[in-house]
Amino acid sequence: MTINDLLKKGIYILLENNISNPQLDVELLLSYTLNVDKVYIYTHRDEEVSNESVDNFLKLIDRRKQGYPLQYILKKQEFMGLDFCIEEGVLIPRQDTEVLVEKIINIVNNGHFKDRKVINIVDIGVGSGAISLSLVHYLEKAHVYSIDIDNKAIEITRKNSVRLGLEDKITLLKGNLFSPLTPLNLENKIDIIVSNPPYIPSQDIDTLQVEVAKYEPRKALDGGIDGLDFYRKIIPESIKYLRKDGVLAFEIGYNQGNEVANLIKESGSFKGVEVIKDLAGLDRAVLAYCNK
């Protein structure tokens, strides 16, 4: 079979199984199989493909048609202009989360922490390291304490930190929420606490697209009955660690802005609570400043 034959066959199979963006997926899977770029695919359409490569490609198409995420097959995902290694067991970084990261970068670049020699950041629920490593890549003075309860997340974040040359700007800590910080004597020393916690209501997870509901780690999605469990845990604990005027920043669900903002306000320890919307006009992040 030729490259063109495989392109057509792959697109047909994915279309038949209602996979979105079938052409792009097929191009990427075929490029991955042949270890070439997309330009090569389109400039060598008539090239014959070995039987082994045909078999390998069709196996990948079979996985993709079942909803298995493309990022887990390719083992990578771009985020904030950086390439991240991704494996099954960690949440796939999404462009929506860039809204949160860009807001934090803008706050720092606008001088909010201009007197700090080091900007200390805590990232709760590090996943692949997308938020942590993007922040330390773009913020010269930042150091991040990256926390996750999951071994796979710690492993993948460590791998990404080495690949990106950022391992000296990140401290990886395994444990639940703030518990790994206890022995580090960081009370009142943190400038920014950021988290993209599980925020999907438990009963809604199985209604999500199959790529998410079936294959992404449920513990990275499940925010309890109303999706707000982790905000309720993180907000009161954050007060102990944040400096005065330190920033608390969350990613949130598309309709959770008012609820999370109210939880922050009810703590009585924050000012300037702001709900940030994404390009589609949906709630995407909440940010506030510690006023203790």
How confident is the model at residue 279, as a pLDDT?
87
Q: What is the DSSP string of 194-247?
A: EE----B-GGGGGGS-HHHHHHS-GGGTB--SSS-HHHHHHHHHHHHHEEEEEE
198 in a labelled binding site: yes
Residue 181: closest CA among 170, 169, 168, 172: 172
Note the pTM of the prediction, 2 decimals.
0.91
Q: Confirm or deny that 129 is annotated as ligand binding.
A: yes
Structural domains for the chain: 3-66 (1.10.8), 88-290 (3.40.50.150)
Q: What is the mean pLDDT of residues 4-17?
A: 96
In percent, the amount of the chain with pLDDT more than 90 equals: 96
Tell me what the mean pLDDT of segment 15-40 comes to: 94
Residue 196, marked binder: yes
Q: Is 267 annotated as a binding residue?
A: no
Residue 225: pLDDT band with limits 50, 70, 90: very high
Instruction: Determine if residue 93 is labeled as part of a ligand binding site.
Output: no
| Confidence tier at 268 by pLDDT (50, 70, 90) | very high
Nearest-angstrom CA–CA distance, 25 and 195: 30
Is 183 annotated as ligand-binding?
Answer: no
Residue 135 in this model has a pLDDT that exceeds 80: yes
Report d(CA 75, CA 82) in Å as an integer: 14
**CA 75 – CA 138 distance, rounded (Å):** 23
- Confirm or deny that 125 is annotated as ligand binding: yes
CA 220 to chain centre: 10
245 annotated to bind ligand? no
